Structure 1
Amino acid sequence: MDGTVTAVSSNSVYSFTKPNRDSITLLAGLGVEGDVHAGVTVKHRSRVAQDPTRPNLRQVHLIHEELFAEVGADGFEVAPGELGENITTSGLDLLALPVGTLLRIGGAAVVEVTGLRNPCVQIDGFREGLLKRVVGHDEAGNLVRKAGIMSVVRTGGTVRPGDPIAVELPAGPHRPLDRV
């Protein structure tokens, strides 16, 4: 169930996409050093408008690279960082992880999974029609969000492409991911 980091991205200004970097530094309790979404309290504009004092449960955004192949089959070209994620992964079913899962990344960094990214209409601004590909329904009609997961930094460290990701599941019973 372990995976690999395929890309890392950050941006110091609000924009939908984030440029790829050679490395990013995770700061405990804050997020990605120099990233616009780093901080103890919420930084995403819609969350700030609701209540700027709420804790930031969206410090680090991870997306599975396999999503790019999935939407690519429907004609949507998407590369790492273009959906605003900080860490692009490979070989790891991020969406199946329960709340509280620890991801040990590289030599030192540890993030705790807090929930699902709730895809917004900005995705269609990036590629018209892509939102319908990253939000769908399962066989039972339940809403499925595929645009990655959110996490908070428990232990800081530098993260680079090629770094291994080790999964540590929380004690049961497990809570499935929901939007944060």
Structure 2
Amino acid sequence: METKGGGMDVYGDVVAVSRSDAHTFRKGNVETIRLLAGLGVEGDAHLGVTVKHRSRVAVDPTQPNLRQVHLIHAELHQELAAAGFAVAPGELGENVTTRGIDLLGLPTGTLLHLGAEAVVEVTGLRNPCQQINTFRAGLLKEVVGRDEAGNPVRKAGIMGVVRAGGEIRPGDPIRVEVPAPPHRALERV
């Protein structure tokens, strides 16, 4: 990946797209999703300028929605399968399942060009919650680990906001545009 001066290359592709109009843990796979600039995924419960995640709404419903689009790398599904957890695209609540991109290694502000028109700006890491254990007992320990210093390592994908709208479908290319240095590591949002 080119990291100097905000370079852009093709790095991967879309494996699946998912949405849910209700606040459900899982999102159903669909043939295509439409991203709406500044809002999120059309027809998804998390669509909006202000935060829609229920626990965050309870704290402050006026805070900006930095979680308009949730992306998870298919490589996580493979890692979970190797640990005995069968997880399919959309089952962890993601809107876009990717392949071939180190999502967790991207800096804040990276632009993901999905398909022909859509652009998502990466805002941070998903902070997995206890609902993951309700879905599959013991899964939370697989998606939140600890590094050598005891700091949490979140592996349940990244969040972003829609900068340019457009349709996305499985098989679409993903191009990564890294911002100019200095880079800021992803933090939970």
Which of the five TM-score ranges fits, normalised by the shorter chain?
Answer: over 0.9
Q: Secondary structure at the match of 1:47?
A: helix
Instruction: Answer yes or no: is 1:144 the counterpart of 2:161.
Output: no
* Residue in 2 that maps onto 1:158: 167
TM-score scaled by length of structure 2: 0.94
Matched, 1:15 2:24: yes
User: Helix, strand or coil: the match of 2:145?
Assistant: strand
1:59-98 matches, within 5 Å, as: 59-98=68-107
> Cα offset for 1:77?
0.4
CA distance in 2, matches of 1:14, 1:120: 14
**Displacement, 1:141?**
2.4
Classify the secondary structure of the residue corresponding to 2:104. Answer: helix
CA displacement, residues 53-103 of structure 1 (integer Å, 9 cap, x when unaligned): 000000000000000111111110000000000000000000000000000
5+ long unaligned stretches in structure 1: none
2-side partners of 1:137 and 1:69: how far apart? Answer: 20
Amino acid across the alignment from 2:181: G
How far apart, in 1, do the equivalents of 2:34 and 2:84 lie?
Answer: 33
4+ runs deviating over 6 angstroms: none
Separation in structure 2 between the aligned mates of residue 120 and residue 32 of structure 1, nearest angstrom: 22
Instruction: Give the match's secondary structure for 1:25.
Output: strand
- For residues 116 and 59 of structure 1, what CA distance do their matches in structure 2 show? 12
Report the residue type matching 1:155 in the other structure: A
Q: Compute the TM-score of the two structures, normalised by the length of structure 1.
A: 0.99
Deviations along 1:104-163, one digit per CA (max 9) or x if unpaired, are 000000000000000000000000000000000123322100000000000000000000
Distance of 2:173 and 2:147 partners within structure 1: 30
Give the Cα–Cα distance (whole angstroms) in 1 for the partners of residues 84 and 70 of structure 2. Answer: 24
RMSD between aligned residues: 0.6
Q: Which amino acid aligns with 1:80?
A: P
User: 2:71 is paired with a residue of what secondary structure?
Assistant: strand
Structure 2: distance between partners of 1:161 and 1:89: 9
SS of residue paired to 1:171: coil
Number of equivalences: 180
Percent identity at matched positions? Answer: 72
